[in-house]
Structure 1
């Protein structure tokens, strides 16, 4: 059965529409904008007849918010860090599981490490950039793990760079796209 990829709604970072090379605005774990919330509610209408049984959401707040707006009352949401965004801006720095649990008490975060996002050498803004090769390896490992998720149709709520690495295509905010994998 099909897996559906869903990119998160417009985030505070996306709304800035920065030019390549622009300074990092230092928005930690960017949230959805009002437009992003509207996009998620529109996507909720699109998925009604897909029969989605399980949802995997990245632990970044914008992905969790998107998953909840689309799937609350429809399918259970599991937060999994393997398909988080490649960290190269402050908006991709996560928050501790206790903070996430405070904001989303109906979800489980106790399986996450205190620091579940990439750590390592920092760029000029103090952001630990995840090397592209490391990111691609992580996403390939996540792709390989998808065969274990037999409760399908499955939805994955995640990020632009993740889906580009995973599936080879770009996605718009809250686009719902089938992804046939074994």
Structure 2
């Protein structure tokens, strides 16, 4: 199985450098163009299934890249963006120290109150991926978010901590993994 994992295209919150989390806002014009460009970069791959976070920006991106109608995309809560709690919609450049430290170095600093922990993100994405790998797919697309993609990458790259925090994935960057008998390998990074 090849698993294509990508972050959604740009939204106005991305453009304005806001913590987007669970806010459900659509792609902007740049985000739509990024998804269309990604579709062209990956070519005519036929996806056996397309999974997305239930947030509209992920669903729109998944539809554009895959050619699937939005209603045919499998929405899964386990790949929704991290819950930023009281920091939702806060400007990245003006985050209070506890959130700034956590978001920069989660391996050292704990999640502030109201913010989802790394442990929680690792648990839900591991459950999702473990279930996905039992399916009989040749090619599958998974569209999610900048925060939650980090534990997804950790699982698929067998990271000891369970996540790969840096470098930060850019909008519509596609990580292509091969999964064979529970073993994983990154085969491409399409920017």
TM range (shorter): 0.5 to 0.7
Equivalent in 126, 137, 140 of residue 126 of structure 2: 140
Q: Which runs of 5+ in 1 are unaligned?
A: 19-23, 92-121
> 1:130: how far off?
2.0
User: 1:162 maps to what in 2?
Assistant: 148
1:84 aligns with 2:90: no
**Which TM-score applies when normalising by structure 1?**
0.68
1:11 and 2:11 matched: yes
TM-score normalised to structure 2 length: 0.65
Distance in 2 between residues matched to 1:51 and 1:30, nearest whole Å: 28
| C-alpha distance in 2 between matches for 1:12 and 1:175 | 18
Aligned pair count? Answer: 143
Q: Which has the higher contact order (CA 8 A, sep 6+)?
A: 1
Secondary structure in 1 aligned to 2:115? Answer: coil
State the alpha-carbon separation in 1 of the partners of residues 22 and 122 from structure 2.
24
CA contact under 8 A between 1:58 and 1:83: conserved in structure 2? yes
Give the match's secondary structure for 1:51.
coil
Conserved in 2, the CA contact under 8 Å of 1:13 and 1:27? no
CA root-mean-square deviation: 2.7
Match of residue 174 from structure 1: 172
Consecutive unaligned residues in structure 2, runs of 5 or more: 90-111, 155-163, 183-191
Task: Between 4-13 and 139-148, report the one with greater CA deviation.
Answer: 139-148
Look up the SS of the partner of 2:33 in the other structure.
helix
Structure 1's 73 and 157: CA in aligned 2 closer, same or farther, altered over 3 A? Answer: closer
Contact 1:3 1:155 in 2 (8 A): yes
8 Å contact kept, 1:55–1:155: yes
Q: 1:159 to 1:27 in 2, by over 3 A?
A: closer
SS of equivalent residue, structure 2 residue 6: strand
Contact 1:167 / 1:179 at 8 angstroms: preserved in 2?
A: no
Is 1:61 the counterpart of 2:59? The answer is no
CA distance in 1, matches of 2:21, 2:49: 33
Aligned to 2:136: 150
Distance change in 2, residues 1:8/1:84 (3 Å): same
